[in-house]
Amino acid sequence: MLDRFTWFKQSAFLWRGDGVNVYIDPWGLTVEEPADVLLITHAHSDHFSMEDIERIRKSHTKVFAPHDVANELSGDVTPVQPGDSIQAGGLSAEVVHAYNVNEARLEAHPKSNKWVGYVMTLGGHSYYHAGDTDHAPELDAIKADVAMVPIGGTYTMEAEEAADLVKTIRPALAVPMHYGFVVGTPSDAEKFASAASPVEVRTLTPEHPFEK
């Protein structure tokens, strides 16, 4: 279920389908393969990198982003918020909440910003890309074969908090992200895997070496 994904770093992924490329939060790209669909979760620079977007965006690229990000972009751009649905280029997705509930992190990703995660159907499987979030109550209802969740702490869930979320939604696989670069260390993936049991955890190798 993960063989079509490339993880660049942080929360940046490329999914290569049959004739369609879907990018999520491109940052630190090591390829320039044209984007058919581009999903942005929120406005922070490690998720919304105009430099990386311009490397892959073409005239046909369909972009989906929260309203504050969409306002910064031109072309085929659709503003989204939690509760919306997407259909584009072989992708279908539900737009879900992404915000902080931990008292110490409330200002990092306020609920009022209406920033997002995505539950995507790609190649016959469902994938939840959480964006930057804590274990918000709305997320308990998510159903997905694969859950990609931030574990680095400081601005998002720490490993144990992310493990609590995946044990609640029970995907077939859980994939840690958002660690080893701006926040968190590679060892957080081990903590996550241990705490998430019995949910199976798979770690991807980023295209960039960990910085932490």
- pLDDT score, position 188: 97
The pLDDT of 102-125, averaged and rounded, is 97
What's the confidence (pLDDT) of residue 89? 82
* pLDDT tens figures, 54-104: 999 999 999 999 999 999 999 999 999 999 999 998 899 999 999 999 999
Q: What percent of the chain has pLDDT over 70?
A: 100
Q: Does the pLDDT value for residue 212 go beyond 90?
A: no
Long-range (24+ apart) CB contacts under 8 A made by 54-63 are 55/26, 55/29, 56/21, 56/23, 56/26, 56/29, 56/32, 58/34, 60/36, 61/34, 61/35, 61/36, 61/37, 62/36, 62/37, 62/38, 62/88, 62/89, 63/37, 63/38
Answering whether pTM is above 0.95, one says yes
Mean predicted confidence (pLDDT) in 167-187: 97
Q: Where are the domains of the chain?
A: 5-201
- Average pLDDT in the 118-133 region? 97
Rounded to the nearest integer, the mean pLDDT of the chain is 97
On the question of pLDDT at 130 being above 80, the answer is yes
Q: CATH assignment of 5-201, given 3.40.50.2300, 3.40.50.300, 3.30.70.260, 3.60.15.10? A: 3.60.15.10
